[in-house]
Amino acid sequence: MLVAAQVFDNFEDGDFNNNPQWTGTTDKFIINSNTQLQLDDTEAGLSYLVTQNTIANDAEWRLWIKLSFSPSDNNNARFYLISDQQDVTQALNGYFLQFGEGGSEDAIELFRQDGSSSESVCKGTNGLLASSFEIRIRVTRDVSGNWQVFADPTGGDNFQLECVGNDPIYATTNFIGLYCKYTVSNSTKFYFDDIYAGEIIVDNEPPELLSVSAGTNTTLLLVFNESLEAQSAENVENYTVDNEIGMPVSATLVEGNASQVLLEFDAPFINGFNYSLSVLGIKDLADNIMEPQQIPFSYVVAAASDVVINEIMADPSPEVGLPNFEYLELFNQTDASISLNDWILTIGTSDKVFENVSIEPNGYLI
Kindly tell me if the per-residue pLDDT of 268 is higher than 50: yes
Q: What is the pLDDT of residue 361?
A: 78
Beta-bridge mates of residue 31: 37
pLDDT bucket at 106, cuts 50 / 70 / 90: confident
- Please report the pLDDT score of residue 2 as a whole number: 42
Beta bridge partner(s), residue 359: 338
The residue ranges of every structural domain in the chain are 7-199, 209-298, 307-365
Span of 71-80, 92-101, 113-122, 129-138 with lowest mean pLDDT: 129-138
**Count of beta carbons in the 10 Å neighbourhood of residue 341:** 18
Give yes or no for residue 256 having a pLDDT over 80. Answer: no
In the chain, pLDDT over 90 holds for what percent of residues?
65
pLDDT tens per residue across span 58-73: 999 999 999 999 999 9
Does the domain spanning 7-199 belong to CATH 3.40.50.720? no
Q: Is the peptide bond before 318 cis (omega within 30 degrees of 0)?
A: yes
Residue 229 near residue 287 (C-beta atoms within 8 A): yes
Q: What is the distance between the alpha carbons of residues 129 and 98, in angstroms, rounded to a whole number?
A: 10
Q: Please, which pLDDT band fits residue 113 given cuts at 50, 70 and 90?
A: very high
**Taking 60 as the threshold, does the pLDDT of residue 363 lie above it?**
yes
Phi-psi map region of 360: left, alpha, beta (phi>0 left; psi -120 to 50 alpha): beta
How many whole angstroms separate alpha carbon 336 and alpha carbon 283? Answer: 29
Angle, CA 154 vertex, CA 153 and CA 155 arms, to 5°:
95
Handedness of CA 84, 88, 94, 96 (dihedral sign): positive
Q: Which CATH number fits domain 209-298: 3.30.565.10, 2.60.120.380, 2.60.40.1220, 3.90.1150.10?
A: 2.60.40.1220
* Residue 290 · residue 280 · CB < 8 Å: yes
Q: Is the pLDDT of residue 318 over 70?
A: no
What is the pLDDT at residue 102?
72
Alpha-carbon torsion (184, 185, 188, 189), positive or negative: negative
* Cis omega (within 30 of 0) for bond into 207: no
Contact 296, 273 (CB under 8 A): no
pLDDT of residue 341: 67
Quick one: how far is CA 296 from the chain centroid?
28
Q: What is the average pLDDT value for the chain, to the nearest integer?
A: 90
pLDDT in tens, 149-181: 999 888 888 888 899 999 999 999 999 999 999
Which residues lie closer than 8 Å to 106 by C-beta, 6 or more apart?
71, 99, 100, 126, 127, 128, 129, 130
